[in-house]
Structure 1
Amino acid sequence: MTARRLLLALPPLLLGACGGIFPDRPNVPVRRFPLAPRRPSADAPRPGAPVLLLRRIRAIPGLQELGLRRQRADGAFDILPYEEWIAPPADLAEAALRGWLGASGLFAAVVAPGSRAEASLVLEAQLTVLEAAPAAGEARAALAGVLLREERLSSRVLRPFEVAGSAPLAPAADAPAMALAMGAALGQAFGRLEATLAGLGGAAVAAR
């Protein structure tokens, strides 16, 4: 029996009940936001600066959703259903961090996995925090990971790191303001990661 014949064979009352299974829903447009903090200025690489390989940034559970993450006053979290990033936030953070460190002057280049460039340093990072907390008056972002020195047959850990940033956020902030503040918080975390890497001596690290 075809689907059309099956529907025609159903009693009218049952057909009416089927119509109630899918009530009319409002057509709410989805808004999508970038996550691309940029370094305020671009510095030229130092002489002899190393090449850095930035491996894919991953996200902890809870930060893999496209929807913006908002902390409620009771400490629980919501994922906003119609307010989304334009791509998974860890992917956006990776692209932004590659551009940020590439403009820092610490490295001759910051390359992605698959590049044929020979990198003496490797950065592995995970996105651990990216949230708006209007009740607390701030947005937050954080990264954790490790900097490695690539050697012929092994990798040597140079420095584990955890960096965090925050940005002010009004209690009544709407989604665009939350996305903007989260981007600013991530940029602050990037700046602290840059300072950590600069503290290792930049090019001097590669010479060890």
Structure 2
Amino acid sequence: MIRTSSEKRYGLVLVILLTFLLTCLVGACVKLERPTLDRKYFTLDAVRPEIEKKSVPIDKNLIVRRVKISPRYEDRDLVYKVGENSFEADYYNSFFVPPSAMITQELRLWMGDSGVFANVLGPESLGTGEYLLEGTVNSIYGDYSTPDRKAVLKMQFILLDNGDPDLPILCSKDFSREIPVQETGPDALVQAMNKGLQSIFSELEKSLAEVVQRKKVK
């Protein structure tokens, strides 16, 4: 059977059309449209009250080691207690960087502004110091298991004498804070956490000042 030129042209157009449709169909299957995830990021900030009286400085340096954190709370997602033994991580509301790094930085800045020590060095510094400060965050979460919402912070800090090869412990203290969360939403929770952090650092500063001043007198 011999096809006419018009039939050949019709067949060619049909092939092109089918190829175009098939290409569009395959492209539609491969290119999936995904909704944009609306995530929010927060930072921990321990703000020193302007009226707070600073301690009398000594001529000793303090090295702040990297603060450790419980594996339950070391990720960036905010954590909520929703039942007696139930916790949830909030993927859509997270810390901007891991909380361990933020708390270490805030602690170094706080102690640096305290006036207790001549210099306060971070964990990455190659400088030397007469004192070492170690910290552990055992809890940092929002307790939403009851209608009375609150931010829970539990920490432990240890001051070591770096001038002694045995690194004796000069001060060891546990801190626990439960700060009411006045409003709904993650913003209010982080604000409550910052208040708790400020309160803990303020009390820690006073404890360290008493220890180093007492050691200076000896």
TM-score by length of 2: 0.75
Name 2:23's counterpart in structure 1.
Answer: none
Contact 2:131–2:163 (Cα < 8 Å) also in 1: no
CA shift in 2, pair 1:62/1:49, >3 Å: same
Equivalent-residue separation in structure 2 for 1:114 and 1:92 (angstroms):
14
Question: Is the CA contact 1:149–1:206 (under 8 Å) kept in the aligned structure 2?
Answer: no
Q: TM-score, normalised by structure 1?
A: 0.79
Pairwise CA RMSD of aligned residues? 2.7
Following superposition, the deviation at residue 138 of structure 1 comes to: 1.3
Distance 2:213 2:61 in 1: 9
Instruction: Choose 81-90 or 100-109, whichever is displaced more.
Output: 100-109
| Contact 2:73–2:139, Cα closer than 8 Å, also in 1 | yes
Aligned sequence identity (%): 23
Q: Deviations over 1:146-203 (max 9, x none)?
A: 1101125331111221112232113x61011111111211221212212221332x33
**Correspondence for 2:6:** none
Q: Which structure has the larger Rg?
A: 2
The answer to whether structure 1 residue 199 and structure 2 residue 210 are counterparts is yes
Mapped pair 1:76 → 2:86 = yes
Report what 1:16 is aligned to: none
Classify 1:74/1:155 alpha carbon distance in 2 versus 1 (closer, same or farther; 3 Å): closer
The equivalent of 2:186 in structure 1 is: 175
- The CA distance in 1 between the partners of 2:216 and 2:168, in whole Å, is 12
**Runs of 5+ unmatched residues, structure 2:** 1-28
Give the corresponding residue for 1:158: 170
CA distance in 1, matches of 2:46, 2:199: 9
- Structure-1 residue corresponding to 2:160: 148
Give yes or no for contact 2:55–2:209 (8 Å, CA) kept in 1. no
Amino acid at match of 2:181: L
Q: Secondary structure at the match of 1:185?
A: helix
Summarize the Cα distance change of 1:96–1:36 in structure 2 as closer, same or farther, 3 Å threshold.
Answer: same
Q: Which residue of 2 aligns with 1:186?
A: 197
Aligned ranges 1:1-20 → 2 under 5 Å: none
Q: Does 1:88 align with 2:98?
A: yes
Q: Identify the residue that residue 13 of structure 1 maps to in structure 2.
A: none
Task: Give the 3-state SS of the residue equivalent to 1:83 in structure 2.
Answer: strand
Q: Secondary structure at the match of 1:103?
A: helix
> What CA distance in whole angstroms lies between the structure 2 residues aligned with 1:206 and 1:33?
40
Partner of 1:40: 49
Query: Secondary structure, in 3 states, of the residue corresponding to 2:111?
Result: helix
Q: Is the 8 A contact 2:44 2:190 kept in 1?
A: yes
Is the 8 Å Cα contact of residues 38 and 99 (structure 1) preserved in structure 2? Answer: no
Contact 1:45 1:107 in 2 (8 A): no
8 Å contact from structure 1 (residues 121, 148) kept in 2 = yes
